Amino acid sequence: MVKKMFVLTAALSGILLISGCSQKKTVSEVDMTSKSRDVFAMDTFMNMKAYGSSADIALSEAEKRILQLEEVLSVTRDTSDIWAVDHSEGSEIEVSDDTAIIIKRAIEMGDRTHGSLDITLYPVLKEWGFTTGDYKVPDDKKLQGLLREVDYKKVNIQGNTVKLPKSTEIDLGALAKGYTGDEIMRTMEENGVSSAIVSLGGNVQALGTKPDGSKWKVSVRDPFAPDTDMCIIEINDKAVITSGNYERYFTADDGTVYWHILDPEDGYPADNGLVSVTVIGDCGLDCDALSTALFVAGYDGAKELLETDPSFELILVTDDRKIYYSEGIADSFTNISGMEAEVISLD
């Protein structure tokens, strides 16, 4: 009897042992060979990875598309659409389809988020030095003067014709990378790739699933320790775009920290309780615009978005070190930080 029990127990433990820790991947016939490409553009590091036999061509085409977009969207190149608009002295400027699409969406997103996204903040951003790295806290009078010219409703666009008041300037920095992600995905598909993932300065966008059908694992940075990951989510065919106060900031002489996401309301760094906003959705352009806008709008603004548009998923980090995520990603969300994480409760 005892012997029998021993054999049985040993066998059971053995089964546990096998099922508990060896998850060997079975070698399938799926083509898992991937090609990777680094692109240094738009002031950031981009990495693209594509699977399948046409990966090389698709990556080259995607790289061309990135450089082409940089050429028209850059705010500092004197050959770009944006430069032309910003130096138009109030006259009408014809822009490319890409620029027109982004400006129109920026205005829509401005309306939708009650002005939390404002592409005319550029002169204020310059005054803070966030565009050059020569950081300084602006003089209050100067700031008030600049703010008078800030209002995205002053941007007039009909078809591809843009007209701006003389002292207003725009910058598509809050949307350009998101749009670029969408265009990379489109270029990949057009070139026969059905499985690809790109990281554009921390923003991730995926095409399809991995070749073996499993989802992509995407990590989001810990805003309190930006060189470590905070959580992992599993996605396919989605953009995962984060705006955080750790991306660009400086510490003033008095110890105050100022970051680059400004509140159009007062021209100061947006400080409405959130330190990181991640937006997950189908369209990179929308996610990019919303991540900035919701950072400005704060927790309640983010909640409002979820209530009105269930097509987006969110991961928010508050300044008191808590993670809030939307219910739709509850199954694919893994918290690997020391922070508490809870689902955003909707009314």
Interface residues with other proteins (CB under 8 A) are: 2-3, 5-6, 9-10, 13-14, 16-17, 20-23, 34, 37-38, 40, 43-45, 47, 133, 199, 218-219, 221, 227-229
Q: Quick one: which of 24, 50, 23 has its CA closest to 36?
A: 50
Q: Which is nearer to other proteins, 210 or 303 (CB)?
A: 210
Q: Quick one: which of 292, 267, 92, 271 has its CA closest to 176?
A: 292
Q: Which is nearer to other proteins, 44 or 332 (CB)?
A: 44
Nearest-approach distance from CB 15 to other proteins, in angstroms: 10
Q: Within 13 Å, how many C-alpha atoms sit on residue 136's CB side?
A: 8
d(CA 73, CA 81): 6
Q: Which is nearer to other proteins, 93 or 230 (CB)?
A: 230
Could you tell me how far CA 181 lies from the centroid of its own chain? Answer: 9
Nearest-approach distance from CB 27 to other proteins, in angstroms: 12
Nearest-approach distance from CB 40 to other proteins, in angstroms: 5
User: Phi, psi at residue 332, to the nearest 5°?
Assistant: -110, 10
Q: Which is nearer to other proteins, 225 or 343 (CB)?
A: 225
Contact criterion met (CB below 8 Å) for 37 and 48: yes
d(CA 48, CA 35): 8
The pair of structure tokens assigned to 33 is 């060979």
Q: Which is nearer to other proteins, 170 or 198 (CB)?
A: 198
d(CA 74, CA 71): 6
Nearest-approach distance from CB 202 to other proteins, in angstroms: 8
Q: Which is nearer to other proteins, 43 or 327 (CB)?
A: 43
Sign of CA dihedral 164, 168, 169, 172: negative
